[in-house]
């Protein structure tokens, strides 16, 4: 299933190389060296309840969107190769 609304993806170097995808109320984040965590920002603005185990298909679709964005923008995995 494709994402239905506008998707925002980011990769940012804060304490390592962190990644995030936002689609509507949903936010998928992965801190450096950790797995992805899914949050419903409308219901959990402080990101306390990881829903990735309950929504594996949503995680899969959002990870694919992140990877497509990262590939298109030339985002390299940490550590950056020289």
Per residue, the 3-state secondary structure of the chain, as one string, reads CCCCCCEEEEEEECCCEEEEEEECCEEEEECCCCCCEEEECCCCCCCCCCCCCCCHHHHHHHHHHHHHHHHHHCCCCCCCCC
Write out pLDDT tens, residues 60-75: 999 998 888 888 888 7
Please give the pLDDT value at position 15.
56
Q: Which residue has the higher pLDDT, 1 or 16?
A: 16
Q: What is the pLDDT of residues 21-75, one digit of tens each?
A: 888 899 999 987 889 999 999 999 999 999 999 999 999 999 998 888 888 888 7
pLDDT at 54: 98
Question: Which pTM was predicted?
Answer: 0.78
pLDDT band at 4 (very low <50, low <70, confident <90, very high): low
């Amino acid at each position: 299933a494709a994402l239905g609304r506008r998707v925002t993806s980011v990769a940012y170097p804060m304490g390592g190389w962190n990644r995030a995808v936002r689609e509507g109320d949903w936010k998928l984040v992965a801190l450096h060296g950790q797995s992805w965590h899914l949050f419903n920002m409308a219901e959990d603005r402080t990101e306390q309840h990881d829903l990735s185990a309950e929504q594996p298909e949503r995680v899969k679709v959002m990870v694919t969107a992140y990877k497509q964005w990262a590939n298109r923008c030339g985002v390299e995995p940490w550590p950056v190769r020289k």
